[in-house]
Structure 1
Amino acid sequence: MAKDISHLQLSQLTPKKVLVVFCMINMITYMDQGMIASSIVNKAIRDDLKMTKFENGVLSTAFSVGILLGSPLFASMANSVNTFRLIGIGLSTWCFSVAGCGLSYSFVSITLCRVLVGTGEASFMSLAAPFINENAPSAQKTLWLGIFYFCIPAGVALGHVYGGIVGKLLGWRSAFFGVSIAMVPFALLGFLMNPTHLKDFAPISRRKLTSIGTYILEVKDDVAMDVSKVAMNDISIHKRFLGDVKVLFLEKAYVVNILGYILYNFVIGAYSYWAPKVGYNVYKMNDSDVVFGGITVVCGMVGTVAGGYVLDLMSSTISNAFKLLSTAAFLGAIFFFSAFCSENVYCFLVLFSIGELLVFSMQGPVNLISLHCVKPSLRPMSLAMSIVAIQISGFVPSSQVIEILKDYTKNWRITALILTSVLFLAASTWFLGIYVHKTDKFMEDPDEIIDKCIKTPLIEEKAEKVETACEP
């Protein structure tokens, strides 16, 4: 009885409230990444654990290894285990692993913990965006996605500040413990929320309908949590995984979008690491970390929301998303190029800020394409493989490549200009996407019974749930 009451109380959340919860989770996860990259925390870890430069580089990429392992795993399990339970399992793993980082006394132990941090976060990264996309108002889908993805730059910037303050006052270990504790309520929420599936994942016999709006997919808690049954069917899961990946990469719009996104993240990943160093070495900015952190927060907030709002005004179609992506990437590259050519520091900051606004405006549209160019059951896998692709080919190698290029050119400005030219390639790739044959599959559902059902809010606030079966 108590269990049913907790489910009832916690399930009284509207889609807007769920968006707020997901944004807070996203912010905290990226605070962790910003914190460990902050100069005070990073230096303290290196000194305390006596790590070499090479080991420090390995530590920065260990998180990505966890993402690569976890994203396809959780996306595949979405076919058998309900969404909130998977998020709860992943965030619980995240909490224990982040706390484990604070308890680590060797390079090996902290690296293993960072891998597990990435694995745990993969559940949320793969499943949250499809959930938001399904329940956002039809005229505001890209805006909602933009708000969600704004939390990435905001979280990283907040993590830099948090790491600097807490790391200096209480030490780097306390910084990890604080972030871990902040996530605990959200991990528990994943287990307490009423069991819910993403669209097209629950068996028809277990779909329960409510009064008016979108629909909710429910399963009994014992079935939802029976992960052991999923494990017993490893062979079929493996086959389905390979089949899903094959279908994804036969979708031309998806491939073009991911190629552009890889190039985009190659540039953004390098900027996030090297831009403050360029500001210090080229423009003699002593407080470059603070300046670029502030630019990232403001431009990230305005750009992501504005990009989603503009695409919603244009009509959120795949073709319009490609048009917006190619235009924003091209203009952003021009402003970045002009910024690094400028000799005046104030002119540089203005031009660079405009470029940041433009590139952050792409977060909503690029993920909308990944969600809408595939059928509903493939959306978690679509985002999972997107994450894998940009980690392997974008974020991870960018800082190392730029390091090698800088050593070769021995000139920060030339290195920055060469890096910026990659953004022109991203714009060209997305421009080709406009002419690729594509079909918006957002409403596609192989089970025709769903189209005949009355649709209600995914998570009701006041309306009483009415369990009915649809007429054949």
Structure 2
Amino acid sequence: MIRKPRTILALFTALNLLNYLDRFVLSAVLGKVQDELALSNFMAGLLATVFLASYFVTAPAFGRLGDRLARKWLIAIGIVVWSAATIGSGLATGAVALFVSRAIVGVGEASYATLAPTIIDDVTPSARKGRALAVFYLATPVGTALGYIVGGLVEKHAGWRTAFFVAGGPGLLLAMITLLVKEPERVIAEEKADVRRDLGRLVRTPLYRQGVLGYCAYTAAIGAYAYWAPTFLYRRYGIAQSAASTKFGMIVVVAGALATAIGGFWADRVQKRVESQMPGSSEAERDPEVVRGQLGICAKGSLLGTGLAAACFFSTSANMFFAFAFFSILALFMSTSPINAVILRSAPQELRASAMALAIFAIHMFGDLWSPSFVGLLADHLPMQLAMMPLPIAIALSAWLWWPKPAPATATATNASAKASAGVDAA
């Protein structure tokens, strides 16, 4: 059995990398898929919508099951489903078959994305939670970049269909290894499920609500940006699809990995600062202040990323685009670890799987479910750079929504009481 937290983290991080590789290999070969299957920009964007619709619709169900059943079995089944469907995408001979395959990929990925972070959070000591989630979510930019790079290189030498075969294979093996994980002890929701009650508790939690609302706007922008960037380069600057995907992938892996590490380090600094300001308090008492600090990280990253993203789309050359893209990704991906920590730490412990599931549902329903197809629709009628301009606006909205609000008076009084109590104990 796999019991060590670091080994569990390493396994789930590798799987998260494959998760994003399988998701973004389509973006790497999208131009070629459009050419062969005669898809408009709007139809190409709908491929992302279909994937995300199945993803967010099934995520709450996996969250409910994960609060009550063995999570590793649900995760393993999800990995097998998404890996097999990725291979199936390469076998598609028409638009309908490709749409069905991408929808099934979404179902499999929903299980993993909902449940894996909750196991990592359970096995990781409080002082290292930010760093652990940063490592796990480092797979987001790295896996995305590998999707671009693997897709671009394989498409160049063996065609776009082979890219899906290469991407889907490794997950089938790692799914079996997942069954060896020893799940940690946790608070189990034993009473009969009451979905409306549990969702109501989460929605009425101000910090959770604030985090998810900002995440919706952020995801709308990032989802369309990541989906269309290689095709934007291919069509606007005349770069070969394989070269556009590979170069953009290299930028994502370097800037995204660096930004995720910075965000995780910054989140741990926030944790340590709050612990020093509230000595003698419990983790539950500190969590609201930690969450506010982590929301601040997210807001500052989006604020910086707004202008940089706009500059990308009005760049007059591909090299200028790549330069602005590096710094925009550096700013935007700093939120990767902190926002997921916000979702987990602002929710009751017994509802964390449901909290992650509801967040996934919301950010896709109101975020990137529609944004890639919306950009595609605009691109069918406007120059590509104008079609991309709603994305910086959404990034700016996320900064505004995430900006930390002052702590309620009751929370301030509680903090002061904790400090005074610690001072009495010390005396």
Question: Under TM normalisation by the shorter chain, which class is it?
Answer: 0.7 to 0.9
Q: Deviations over 1:388-444 (max 9, x none)?
A: 112122112222333455566x455555555313322211111154556898xxxxx
Q: Distance in 1 between matches of 2:314 and 2:92?
A: 44
Q: Distance in 1 between matches of 2:328 and 2:162?
A: 36
Select the residue among 31, 40, 47 that pairs with 2:21: 31
5 Å-filtered alignment, 1:152-163, equals 152-163=140-151
Aligned partner of 2:369 in structure 1 is: 396
| Residues 1:299 and 2:255 aligned together | yes
| Residues 1:199 and 2:186 aligned together | yes
> How far off is 1:190 after superposition?
3.0
Point out the more displaced range, 369-378 or 181-190: 181-190
Q: Deviations over 1:78-135 (max 9, x none)?
A: 2321111111222222233334334444543443332222111111101111211222
Aligned partner of 2:134 in structure 1 is: 146
Cα distance, 1:51–1:285 mapped onto 2, change above 3 Å: closer
Q: Is the 8 A contact 2:299 2:403 kept in 1?
A: yes
> How far off is 1:289 after superposition?
3.5
Aligned partner of 2:225 in structure 1 is: 271
Select the residue among 102, 107, 116 that pairs with 1:119: 107
The residue identity in structure 2 corresponding to 1:430 is W
Q: Deviations over 1:196-245 (max 9, x none)?
A: 25621277xxxxxxxxxxxxxxxxxxxxxxxxxxxxx9xx54xx222221
Q: Deviations over 1:267-304 (max 9, x none)?
A: 21222234445556767766544332221111110001
Aligned partner of 2:153 in structure 1 is: 165
Select the residue among 70, 76, 87 that pairs with 2:75: 87
Q: Distance in 2 between matches of 1:99 and 1:285?
A: 27
Aligned partner of 1:21 in structure 2 is: 11
The residue identity in structure 1 corresponding to 2:257 is M
| Residues 1:242 and 2:196 aligned together | yes
| Residues 1:318 and 2:291 aligned together | yes
> How far off is 1:22 after superposition?
0.6
Q: Distance in 2 between matches of 1:360 and 1:16?
A: 23
The residue identity in structure 2 corresponding to 1:429 is L
Aligned partner of 1:254 in structure 2 is: 208
Aligned partner of 1:188 in structure 2 is: 176
Aligned partner of 1:376 in structure 2 is: 349
Cα distance, 1:252–1:438 mapped onto 2, change above 3 Å: farther
Q: Is the 8 A contact 1:322 1:434 kept in 2?
A: no
The residue identity in structure 1 corresponding to 2:260 is T
> How far off is 1:71 after superposition?
0.8
Select the residue among 417, 420, 425 that pairs with 2:397: 425
Point out the more displaced range, 411-420 or 358-367: 411-420
Aligned partner of 2:416 in structure 1 is: none
Select the residue among 335, 339, 363 that pairs with 1:366: 339
Q: Distance in 2 between matches of 1:243 and 1:70?
A: 19
Between the two proteins, what is the percent identity of the paired residues? Answer: 28
Q: Distance in 2 between matches of 1:96 and 1:360?
A: 29
The residue identity in structure 1 corresponding to 2:226 is S
Q: Distance in 2 between matches of 1:38 and 1:143?
A: 30
Question: Match of 1:312, SS?
Answer: helix
Q: Is the 8 A contact 1:326 1:427 kept in 2?
A: yes
Cα distance, 1:386–1:339 mapped onto 2, change above 3 Å: same
Q: Is the 8 A contact 2:42 2:377 kept in 1?
A: no
The residue identity in structure 1 corresponding to 2:89 is C
Q: Is the 8 A contact 2:141 2:252 kept in 1?
A: yes
Aligned partner of 1:458 in structure 2 is: none
The residue identity in structure 2 corresponding to 1:22 is F
The residue identity in structure 1 corresponding to 2:340 is N
Q: Distance in 2 between matches of 1:166 and 1:133?
A: 36
Q: Distance in 2 between matches of 1:339 and 1:51?
A: 26
Unaligned runs of 5+ in 1: 1-9, 204-232, 440-472
The residue identity in structure 2 corresponding to 1:428 is W
Cα distance, 1:68–1:278 mapped onto 2, change above 3 Å: closer
Q: Deviations over 1:297-326 (max 9, x none)?
A: 111100011111012112271111122122
Cα distance, 1:19–1:343 mapped onto 2, change above 3 Å: same
Cα distance, 1:270–1:36 mapped onto 2, change above 3 Å: closer
| Residues 1:65 and 2:53 aligned together | yes
Q: Distance in 1 between matches of 2:50 and 2:336?
A: 24
Q: Is the 8 A contact 1:78 1:201 kept in 2?
A: no
> How far off is 1:346 after superposition?
5.5
Q: TM-score, normalised by structure 1?
A: 0.74
Q: Distance in 1 between matches of 2:384 and 2:324?
A: 18
Q: Distance in 2 between matches of 1:175 and 1:277?
A: 16
| Residues 1:43 and 2:16 aligned together | no
Cα distance, 1:436–1:34 mapped onto 2, change above 3 Å: farther
The residue identity in structure 1 corresponding to 2:108 is G
Q: TM-score, normalised by structure 2?
A: 0.81
Question: Match of 1:80, SS?
Answer: coil
Question: Match of 2:11, SS?
Answer: helix
Cα distance, 1:424–1:42 mapped onto 2, change above 3 Å: closer
Structure with greater helix percent: 2
Cα distance, 1:198–1:298 mapped onto 2, change above 3 Å: farther
Q: Is the 8 A contact 1:131 1:198 kept in 2?
A: no
Q: Distance in 1 between matches of 2:31 and 2:229?
A: 18
Q: Distance in 2 between matches of 1:412 and 1:400?
A: 13
Cα distance, 1:346–1:111 mapped onto 2, change above 3 Å: closer
**What is the RMSD of the two structures over their aligned residues, measured on CA atoms?**
3.1
Larger radius of gyration: 1
Cα distance, 1:274–1:124 mapped onto 2, change above 3 Å: closer
Q: Is the 8 A contact 2:24 2:147 kept in 1?
A: yes
